[in-house]
Chain A
Amino acid sequence: MTELLTVTGVGKTYPGAPPVRALADVTLTLRSGERTAIVGPSGSGKTTLLHVAGTLERPTAGSVRIGGEEVSGLSDAAVSRLRARRLGFVFQQFHLLDHLDAVQNVALGLLYDGTPAGRRRAAAIAALDRVGLGGRLGHRPAQLSGGERQRVAIARAVVGRPDVVFADEPTGNLDSAAGADVVALLAGLADDGTAVVMVTHDQAVAAAMDRQVLMRDGRIVSDDLVVGPGAPR
């Protein structure tokens, strides 16, 4: 399996009095087609790890490599370009723009990688089809259920065919049925070789992933790969 993203010896300390250490010496490798759940109690550093691995935050120690490229030396524009092309994000609060319809929201996922407007729209429609929302193209977020909104957000995350999709508590605002749909959809993304990383505190959700990474106090306390798709590790 290809190593898509590697986090090595990463630490993150927020300045203040006293300084807050959110991550300490975390090492994690994400491979293509891998489904990873990051679990742990509140404040254990799950979301911070996701942000650091997703280049939304720079670590204070260690290194992050994406596709073999060391991120820490890159400019803001270069890191942003990396996010636009290689990474996708799904959030608990969906973060859909209220005044845009489903297609426009999904098309935003291609806005920053230089895709022309016509192709963005076509790709957005295809992505919505893939998540089962082909009949909701012109609906605005307010006209969609919670589960549908999160599926629009997933379509937006994958419309650019990223290497890695990060999902931060994607089921946190959903009822259990809608949550199960969303988890199944995210898990299915790995079939195409995408690495899926999901932060959750819901054991049932985590169980749907192949690999469970347990965090506590900013450290990985266990990393248990259950099954890898394709060849075993």
Chain B
Amino acid sequence: MNAVRPRLRAADLIGGGLLGLRARRLRAALSALGIAIGIAAGVAVLGISASSKANLLSQLGAEANLLTVSAGGGVDGSPVPLPLTAQPMIAMIPPVESVTAVGYVPGVSVRRTSMVPAIDTGGISVLAAQPGLLGTLGGTVSHGTFLNAATARYPAVVLGAVAAKTLGIDRVTPDTQVYLDGQYFTVIGILSPVPLAPEIDEAALVGFPVASRLLGLAGHPTELYLRSLPDQVQAVTSVLPFTANPAQPEGVRVSTPSSILAARARAGTALTGLFLGLGGIAAAVGAIGIANIMVISVLERRGEIGLRRALGAARWHVAAQFLTEALLLSVLGGVIGVLLGAAATAGYAVSAGQPVVLPTAAVAVGLSIALGAGALAGAYPALKAARLPPAEALRSA
């Protein structure tokens, strides 16, 4: 007897598996669809979130030169207000392109009318702002106008996006007013959300002159926003505390909001996990569908199994054949799923004006899951087919 062990080549296995699937195309397509939907959901979720992150990061990359200087605590923990000289001194640092000050007005609430109880502040803070604030933050006005040198002197207010929503104000008319510390201020504008300074979204902004005249603001800024040349951010950061408050530099807090946002953008969200879980469940259901189809296939093809055994197929040949068919089905589903997921990602990203990013990890994991699902789904039917005694398979066909 020849000692060389006859092997079934990979090409023969795959060719045979494809034949089995081609003979039952509709069934193959439908059972692959389950896996495809699961993988598509997973790839799309990862792709869309990666595209959104890439978009946010690219936006932040253009604006990573925003710095904030705020009043902190001294060595003994007592609050240290920023000196009046802080803003003009910072403006003199050469790489600083612009600097603007904001002053928190304590103990003042904003309400729609005097009839609203004073306790219902809605969490809106009143900030004194300078006309240059919007330019430095890169914010825009969605309705009306921003403060200018003239309106900064009068009881006029510009509402942040969240503050406007809280007050129920969605447009600006000449007689739109809010009740602010015992008097009515005219709303002259509403801001669009400012991603780099969310505290502005929840604020009502008034001019420094009117704040000191009517609201009792001493004039000390509580926060400074500044832009530096992008390649000088580190250098500017290091000199800011001494420049802002030479007497008490430890009482000055400097932060770069764009880097915080960037870090947040890189972190995943709970929703992504949820959708990935749903995609996994869909893939599992798809795998069960494939297992089901393969079990039926083994029952239907007893005659073929008996014949192949008679032609010299060993048990492992038969097992390999059915396992290969299950794997081909699931990989077919996986490939379709990746393509669908990529298409969904591209469609979403393009319509949202974002760069299209398809993480290779998502594609690799998607295909691996498909492969694993196919192996699991095919294992039992393949064993069942292999264990079928050849004579019994031939007799029952």
Instruction: Mark A residues whose CB is within 8 Å of B.
Output: 47-48, 51, 54, 56-57, 67, 69, 76-77, 80-85, 87, 89, 91, 93, 95, 97-100, 108-109, 111-114, 116-117, 156
Residues of A within 8 A of B23 (CB): 97-99
Tell me, yes or no, whether B213 is within 8 Å of chain A by CB. no
Q: Which residues of A contact B5 (CB under 8 A)?
A: 77, 81
Name the distance in Å between A119's Cβ and chain B's nearest Cβ. 12
Kindly list chain B residues whose C-beta atoms are within 8 Å of the C-beta of A116: 9
Q: Which of B306-325 contact A (CB under 8 A)?
A: 306-317
Asked if A56 and B317 make an inter-chain contact with CB atoms under 8 angstroms apart, the answer reads no
Closest-by-CB residue of B relative to A67 is B1
Contact A108 B1 (CB under 8 A): no
Contact of B312 among A91, A98, A100, A113 (CB under 8 A): A113
Nearest Cβ distance between residue B371 and chain A, in whole angstroms? 25
B22 within 8 A of A: yes
B119 lies within 8 A of chain A by Cβ: no
* A56 to B305 CA separation, bound complex (whole angstroms): 12
A83 touches B19 (CB 8 A): no
* A159 to chain B: closest residue by CB: B311
20 new A-B contacts, CB < 8 A, other than A84-B312, A111-B16, are A54-B310, A56-B306, A57-B390, A69-B1, A76-B314, A77-B5, A77-B315, A80-B309, A82-B1, A82-B312, A95-B304, A97-B19, A99-B23, A111-B8, A112-B6, A112-B308, A112-B313, A112-B314, A113-B312, A117-B15
Which of B303, B311, B316 makes the CB contact (< 8 A) with A109? B311
Give the complex CA separation of A117 and B19 in angstroms: 15
CB distance from B174 to the nearest CB of A (A): 80
Cβ of A85 and Cβ of B2 under 8 Å apart?
yes
Q: Which of B12, B306, B312, B394 contacts A117 (CB 8 A)?
A: B12
* Interface pair A112/B306, CB less than 8 Å apart: no
A112's contact among B15, B19, B317, by CB below 8 Å, is which? Answer: B317
Residues of A within 8 A of B16 (CB): 111
CB <8 Å contact, B391 and A84 = no
When distances are taken between beta carbons in the complex, the residues of chain A under 8 Å from B306 are 56, 95
A26 and B132 alpha carbons, distance in the complex (Å) = 108
The 7 closest A-B pairs by CB, nearest first: A84-B312, A114-B6, A112-B312, A80-B314, A99-B23, A57-B391, A95-B307
Instruction: Report chain A residues within 8 Å CB of B309.
Output: 56, 80, 83
Query: B311 to A84, Cβ gap below 8 A?
Result: yes
B310 proximity list for chain A (CB < 8 A): 54, 56, 83, 87, 89
